[in-house]
Amino acid sequence: MPLLLVFVIKNTIEIIYCKVLAFGNFCILIIISLKIHNYIPIEKTEVHQLQADFFRSSVH
């Protein structure tokens, strides 16, 4: 029983770590895309607007 508990805790930590890592990478991608849009005039689509809104909400 204790071995199973250790396994579950280990898996949970790995899942959380992966989600945090993925979220961090997502933020980096958004920042890069915002930088690109600042320097290169590209017609903003709905996706880019959502990214910008998400970035603004995560900063505050």
| Tens-digit pLDDT profile for residues 8-33 | 888 888 888 878 888 888 878 887 87
Q: Look up the pTM and report it.
A: 0.38
Work out whether the CA dihedral 42, 47, 49, 53 comes out positive or negative. Answer: negative
State the pLDDT at residue 42: 52
